[in-house]
Amino acid sequence: MSAPRLPMKPLMSLGDALAELIGFAVTLDGVESVSTFEADGRVLAQDLVSALQVPPEDNSSMDGYAVRCTDVVQALRESLSDSPELPVSQRIAAGTSGAPLLPMSAARIFTGAQIPLGADAVVMQEDCEVLASDTSASSVRIKAVPMPGQWLRCAGEDIRQGALVLAKGDRLTPAELGLAASIGMDFLPVARRPRVALFSTGDELVMPGAVPPEQMKPGAIYNSNRFFLRALLLRLGCAVSDLGIVPDQLDATVQALRAAAQNHDLILTSGGVSVGEEDHIKPAVQSLGSLDLWQIAIKPGKPFAYGRVQSAHFIGLPGNPVSSFVTFLLLVRPFLLKLQGASQVTMKSSAATAHFTWARADRRREFLRVRRNAAGGLDLFANQSSGVLTSAVWADGLVDNPPGQTIAVGDVVSFIPFSELLG
């Protein structure tokens, strides 16, 4: 008589899995000071407060002539022409400061130059006529009467002295690096890089270059996961130790895990997290720490593992390349950002219009590979199999489709661009 079949454990929702995983991610100790040139993608470890205002003084946003508006109006009343003339009293280039503006005069000024005391507007040079035969104008005809504040950039309009410029937990982008530099920051305090050990399991895996395609044995495949996982880790600011391919042997797996746990914050693997006779990750991790095998209600990417190997976190991803790619973006990415103390770890989506039909509703939450078309809608990659990595290259994002949901042309769907997930 056969043993009674145990009831299947219900699948975990992505929201519950992410909340549980984030709960395990305690922000790493340690702050590094890095050059602002090298801080792209890092997480700020302290608030940045400006010691100055930006811009430091009123300056011109145009090449032209700085004037006092009341002087132009007075010259207009006194002139027989509708284009009054003013003498040019000085020339002010960017990086220099001029003298106070003489009454009833104009100052030749260039973009970024400090506005002279007394001037309250700039007339751009296209609205002026120089009345001289050489480059040193003696007077200028104003062909458009200015309004106060015209073409002026006011002191402190970008940043006020004492203002919070960037907050602890902000992930630094190129624009934020420029902002930090604008307040004089040549070095920035950032969170320590997570140290991640990466390896793959599977005797079927072959490294590109090790065996020519025509000499590949039956059942052998090139290890693609190792390449995109390493690249994703580096983009997230991790220090990566690539431990290669571990044979499908229990002793070898235990040895690799034990060595990786010594000086890494996270051990990340792909493949071998099932319960087959050649899947050694589960017993190997359990022999050194603890492991939970999660069945997550998403497609692709149902199998997922989290545990501890001594003091290191362990995450095991599925072996199918698209499953590994998607589960990394949905779960590992926020986990690593939380380790670095990032304030924003969840993905952002936006509404978009489907230009495709999806009639095969699934009980799991689906992440469909799509890309925007010229009309602004979304096209669907024809083959959504978890083994078709071409879909992730062709696509520029994912449709987050709820369980049991079909999609018709014209439906509004939730779109997550890869630009949101890969940066």
What homologous superfamily does CATH list for 14-29+193-339?
MoaB/Mog-like domain (3.40.980.10)
**Residue 279 pLDDT:** 67
Q: Is the pLDDT of residue 298 over 80?
A: yes
Residue with tokens 């002279």: 116
- Over residues 185-237, the pLDDT tens digits come to 999 999 999 999 998 887 788 888 888 888 889 988 888 889 999 999 999 99
pLDDT for res 4? 52
At residue 1, the pLDDT reads 46
Picking from 72-76, 160-164, 398-402, which range would have the lowest pLDDT averaged per residue? 72-76
Residues of the chain with CATH 2.40.340.10: 350-421
Question: Could you tell me where in the chain the CATH 3.90.105.10 domains are found?
Answer: 31-54+158-191
- Cβ distance 404 to 363 under 8 Å? yes
Six-digit token string for 423: 């940066």
18 Cα distance to chain centroid:
19
Distance CA 317, CA 378 (A): 28
- Distance between CA atoms of residues 223 and 204, nearest Å: 9
- For residues 178 and 60, the answer to whether their CB atoms sit within 8 Å is no
Query: Inter-axis angle of helices 250-261 and 281-288, to 10 degrees?
Result: 50
Every domain of the chain with CATH number 2.170.190.11 lies at 59-153
Question: What is the Cα–Cα distance from 299 to 385, expressed in whole angstroms?
Answer: 10
What is the reported pLDDT for 69? 96
Name the DSSP class of 184: T
Q: How far apart are CA 270 and CA 305, in angstroms?
A: 10
pLDDT in tens, 34-91: 999 999 999 999 999 999 999 999 999 999 999 999 999 999 988 877 889 999 999 9
Mean pLDDT computed over 387-412: 97
Please give the torsion angle defined by the CA atoms of residues 235, 240, 244 and 249, in that order, rounded to the nearest 10 degrees.
-120
CATH of domain 59-153: 2.170.190.11
Count helices and strands in the chain by DSSP H and E runs: 10, 26
Residue-level pLDDT at 6 = 47
If residue 316 lies in a helix (H) or strand (E), which one and from where to where?
Answer: strand 312-317
- Return the CATH superfamily for domain 350-421: MoeA, C-terminal, domain IV (2.40.340.10)
Mean pLDDT of all residues in the chain? Answer: 92
**DSSP per residue, 16-29:** HHHHHHHHH-PPPS
Contact by Cβ (8 Å): 125, 73: no
Asked whether the predicted pLDDT for residue 383 surpasses 70, the reply is: yes
Total residue count of the chain as it appears in this document: 423
Q: Which ranges of 99-241 does DSSP label H, i.e. alpha helix?
A: 174-182, 225-235
Q: How many angstroms separate the CA atoms of 94 and 112, rounded?
A: 5
Query: How far apart (Å, rounded) are the C-alpha atoms in residues 172 and 421?
Result: 15
Superfamily of domain 31-54+158-191: Molybdopterin biosynthesis moea protein, domain 2 (3.90.105.10)
pLDDT score recorded for residue 245: 85
Task: Give the number of other CB atoms < 10 A from CB of residue 116.
Answer: 22
Cα-based distances in Å from 399 to 232, 323, 327, 393, 414: 20, 15, 14, 15, 6
E strand spans, 70-194: 85-92, 106-109, 121-124, 128-130, 139-142, 152-153, 164-166, 187-191
Greatest Cα pair distance, the chain, in angstroms, is 115
